[in-house]
Amino acid sequence: MTTLMEKTAMQDDAATLATVETPCLILDADRMDRNIARLRAHLSPMGVTLRPHLKTGKSIEVAHRLMETPEGPATVSTLKEAEQFAAAGVRDLIYAVGIAPDKLPRVLALRTRGVDIAVVLDTVEQAEAVAAASREAGTAIPALIEIDCDGHRSGVLPDDSAALLAIGRALVEGGELRGVMTHAGGSYAARTPEELRRYAEVERKSVVDAATTLRDAGLPCPVVSVGSTPTAHFATDLTGVTEVRAGVFVFFDLVMHGIGVCAVDDIALSVLGTVIGFQKEKGWILIDAGWMAISRDRGTAKQPVDQGYGIVCTLDGVPYPDLILADANQEHGIITVRPGTDEQLPPLKIGDRVRVLPNHACSTAAQHPAYHVVHGDDPAVTATWSRFGGW
């Protein structure tokens, strides 16, 4: 964790990409702002609320740029995030991971502090636990029923009316049925705009159908929530949907590029590293950014273009031709020319610096205590924004 003293010292020193300690995490705030504006502009005409997922940034400063207001709405993946963002003033949250009954005391503590946090569930057992905890506390905990729109993870099938109604009825015995939600994680397998639009429509229809089932049975369903970065960007009709959740779009990454959701130069996050050695016969350049700095995420391994551990760029953020971080040890990264190409290694020397664009922004960011903020091709580090981890 960067201490306040370190942070202040860094700002006093007029830090730049050439002087900050490596490895470290660089955030191009101009690209981030552009990514946020792009999704807002896409969703706004469809009349839905953007409820950004704060799990990618885990940073108050990033959250403030993502949210429509300082109070939210927003989505979180851990109760630690909920507590941290609540302490910073956020008042409207969905904790979007199936609730474990043991976690309900922390949810209730947040609600007592004035935070409208809703939980997510997909079993009668969880609904009964939420209803019982609500009755005991004398306050209804709101919950959304998770819908499985594409078979990739959790949720009730949208046409399983029996399960939907059983969960809804168990919940309203003390708890609050806030609505339905789904996440089209399957859209990560899409490769064309047509497929992405199809996933978006399947995602939309799944929750709208489930909401209809609940309402037809006399149960409430005010919130109809969808969300994944690919579908959020390719949806063209969100009739019946009230809100869209998306997270990784704030920074984007090579996995999103591989799906076709962003360009390489939309990627706002990179890891800054320093050259520490060579194996010239093998065509290797070694840097001080290994998997501890870039993460073990190999999300592009199954995509048509495998980017290794990331694309290597100049200090200005421009990719070197066909240069990737091909392998990584804990604190060593191995840069090579992409296999099958005839590019030459750039003439980097000991002490030179490069930036590596990550496969997966969520996992790379999670390896770091802070963002070093830059703007476009200006090398000045204008701020450091701390981020948190843990649960």
Q: Which residues of the chain form contacts with its own copies (CB under 8 A)?
A: 1-2, 21-24, 55, 77-78, 97-103, 106, 121-123, 125-126, 129, 148, 151, 153-154, 185, 274-279, 282, 286, 288, 291-293, 295-298, 329-332, 334, 349-351, 360, 362-363, 366-369, 388-391
**At closest approach, how far in Å is the CB of 122 from its own copies?**
6
Burial of 189 (0-12, 13-18, 19+ CB in 10 A): middle
Backbone conformation region of residue 98, classed left if phi is above 0, alpha if psi is from -120 to 50, else beta: beta
Residue 138, C-beta contacts closer than 8 angstroms, at least 6 positions apart: none
CB nearer to its own copies: pick between 275 and 313? 275
Closer of 48 and 155 to its own copies (Cβ): 155
How far is 168 from 217, CA to CA, in rounded Å? 10
CB of 46 to its own copies, least distance (A): 26
- Amino acid at residue number 265: D
Min separation Cβ 56 and its own copies, Å: 9
Tell me the residue type at 72.
G
- Report the distance separating Cα 383 and Cα 373, nearest Å: 5
The CB-of-105 to its own copies minimum distance in angstroms stands at 10
Q: How far is the CB of 150 from its own copies (least distance, A)?
A: 12
Distance CA 273, CA 21 (A): 9
- 312 neighbors 270 (Cβ within 8 angstroms): no
What single-letter DSSP state applies at residue 361? H
In the complex, minimum distance from the CB of residue 358 to its own copies, in angstroms, rounded to a whole number: 11
CA-CA distance, 1 to 87, in Å (whole number)?
19
Q: How far is CA 293 from CA 23, 87, 286, 309, in A?
A: 7, 28, 14, 11
Q: Choose between 281 and 342: whose C-beta lies nearer to its own copies.
A: 281
Q: Is 68 exposed, middle or buried (0-12, 13-18, 19+ CB in 10 A)?
A: middle
Q: 48 or 361, CB closer to its own copies?
A: 361
At 23, list the tokens.
């490895």
Q: What angle (nearest 5°) sits at the alpha carbon of residue 131, between those of residues 128 and 137?
A: 140
| CB of residue 30 to its own copies, shortest distance in Å | 25
